């Protein structure tokens, strides 16, 4: 079964689901929606949907841990819909409307992520300039 056929099956299963990636694993084809974190699995031997799972929101230890890691790495605990949310990190930095990305407000979480990235960029630049030894 081709990925195009799987995309058609998934579209019939749920027209709101928009997969951005598909891959074969453990005898099924998995369609991923990166925006929501949702995964739909299709059995290529018969075209049946055999799984519909969102590891970020389904509950339990794994999804709570995955949701927390997603929140930490993507928005430094300022994404309200994920575990570990800290309201103060989602608050807008006063006087920073000009510094937002694509019209979004600059939050304390975003500012801290950016500030933590600067030393990493500096270390990368210094080590890359050394060249191979």
pLDDT tens for 24-38 read 999 999 999 988 888
Do 101 and 78 belong together in one domain?
A: yes
Do 111 and 68 belong together in one domain?
A: yes
Do 67 and 43 belong together in one domain?
A: no
* Domain enclosing residue 15, as ranges: 3-53
Q: Over 80: is that where the pLDDT of 103 sits?
A: no
Do 71 and 123 belong together in one domain?
A: yes
Domain count for the chain: 2
Question: How confident is the model over 71-94, as pLDDT tens digits?
Answer: 888 888 988 878 889 999 999 888
Do 114 and 76 belong together in one domain?
A: yes
Q: What angle do CA 93, 98, 104 make, to 5 degrees?
A: 70
Collapsed DSSP state (helix, strand, coil) of residue 52: strand
Do 65 and 85 belong together in one domain?
A: yes
Do 90 and 122 belong together in one domain?
A: yes
Which pTM does this prediction carry?
A: 0.52
Do 45 and 71 belong together in one domain?
A: no
Q: Which of 12, 29, 53 is the last residue of a domain?
A: 53
At a CB cut-off of 8 Å and minimum separation 6, what does 1 contact? 29, 42, 44, 45, 47
């Amino acid at each position: 079964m081709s990925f195009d056929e799987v995309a058609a099956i998934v579209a019939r299963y749920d027209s709101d689901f928009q997969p951005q990636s598909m891959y074969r694993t453990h005898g099924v084809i998995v369609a991923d929606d990166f925006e929501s974190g949702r995964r739909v699995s299709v059995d290529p031997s018969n075209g049946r949907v055999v799984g519909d799972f969102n590891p970020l929101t389904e509950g339990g230890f794994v999804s709570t841990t995955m949701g927390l890691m997603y929140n930490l790495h993507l928005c430094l605990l300022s994404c309200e819909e994920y575990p570990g949310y800290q309201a103060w990190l989602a608050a807008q930095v006063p006087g920073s409307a000009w510094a937002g990305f694509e019209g979004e407000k600059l939050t304390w979480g975003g500012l801290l992520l950016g500030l933590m990235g600067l030393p990493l960029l500096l270390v990368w630049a210094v080590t890359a300039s050394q060249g191979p030894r």
